[in-house]
Amino acid sequence: MAKEIGSRHVFIPTAHAVTALRRARFRDYPQAILQGSTAHFQVYYNPPLGATGQRIANAVLGFCERDYRRISQIFGGITPTGLPVNIVLAHLPQGGAYHYGCAATTLYCDVRTAPSVSAVFSEFLALAELVEVFEARQNRGWNCGASNGEGLSRVLATACYPRQIVGFGTAATWLNRGRPDFVNRTDTTDANPVSTGCAVLFLNYLRYQLNYRWRHIVAAAGPTLSVTYQRLTGDASNPFPAFAARLASQFPAGRPAVLNTDNPFPIRRARLPQAGRRTERRRRARDVPRSAEITGEPSEVPPEIAVTVPTASADEADETSTASDDDAPEAAERTSGRFVGHKGSRIFHPATSANLPSEENRVYFESEDEAIASGFRRAEREGRASTES
């Protein structure tokens, strides 16, 4: 496989964000073995991985077309140039994934073989890099080498594989380092966890707090996230104060925030500055069904405590069943499931709960992760331990 030319764009664990970029060179695995092909992909593994590499590559071959369809739909059905996409699996010294140039379609992805083999981990990385390829093809403002494009690649990959962000999350870094405004300006690097942290939080705020769909957020691309907000909402005011205040209501400035996920939203009952309140009221009036206003469940306010997600070694069965909110028509049409959410309150319960909403207000999910990825949160009085069967 020929060595590629261009700037290296990386998706790496937060702890290695600086040291990885100081390395003089990367091994590009010219001896990688082609394991198989699909309509849009060729998947390779580095020979030292042996049978484990074959196993991971075969699993990635089973995931990749489904994820391609999801991302293509979110980006309005566009087709990247330079197909097929080459996914090269290897033990990368710095971890994570990289490719040479935003449009480059050879994606180098790490593998996880301990404490157990996880093909989902590699597909999560490949999906994040694939989003950047679509960003380049769209060419409307999402820049994979800048904070806004890096943030988008992370949130879309995490929407499909929510557990795998553990170790890569950057939201806590922004919360704990002064909370600078990277909404009204875009950082010109993809390797600053502070600016990336601001980007992932703001994008998740648009999706899970203001309830815009990913495909609409993506279509509203602009040079800054504030321009994206303005194009998306039609509101010309500065969105940063309302966004920052919403987070401060749960993560007060000056108090260390421990956040293993990049998505703490939705956050309820925040006090917002005057700028932004009008848009919040409009969205609530538009998004909450009339029946929910009348028969909604009792409000549950999340406590101001550290927010965590399951460890990456958790059962991967739920991971592979988690779907992006923009590519799950079958989920929208379900009439049953292991978990039931309320359309108005965005709270979900196990299907065996005695506190289920009325039928017209129900949304069904097959897993907790699917519900969380769709912007719902677990009922506080029915913790995770009581919902697992």
Query: How many Cβ atoms sit within 10 Å of the Cβ of residue 203?
Result: 24
Residue 187 pLDDT grade (very low, low, confident, very high; cuts 50, 70, 90): very high
Question: Is position 276 within any domain?
Answer: yes
Same structural domain, 104 and 163: no
> What distances in angstroms separate CA 372 from CA 53, 242, 339, one per listed residue?
31, 23, 11
Range of the domain at 353: 321-387
| Whether the predicted pLDDT of 286 surpasses 70 | no
pTM over 0.75: no
In this prediction, residue 13 carries a pLDDT of: 58
pLDDT of residue 336: 77
Q: What is the mean pLDDT of the chain?
A: 80
Q: Which structure tokens are listed for 104?
A: 């480059």
Instruction: Flag whether 2 is in a domain.
Output: no
Please tell me the predicted confidence (pLDDT) of residue 8. 58
pLDDT digits (tens, 9 = 90+) for 58-94: 999 999 999 999 999 999 999 999 999 999 999 998 8
What average pLDDT does range 11-19 have in this prediction?
A: 47
Tell me the pairing of strands 106-109 and 85-89.
parallel
Instruction: List, for residues 48-61, the tens digit of each pLDDT value.
Output: 999 999 999 999 99
**1 falls within a domain:** no
Share of the chain above pLDDT 70, in %: 73
Helix%, strand%, coil% for the chain, nearest 5? 40, 10, 45
Of 107, 139, 171, the last residue of a domain is 139
The number of domains in the chain is: 3
Tell me which of 297, 320, 343 is where a domain ends: 320
pLDDT digits (tens, 9 = 90+) for 234-247: 999 999 999 999 99
- CA dist 289 and 221 (Å) reads 29
- Residue 318's pLDDT is 40
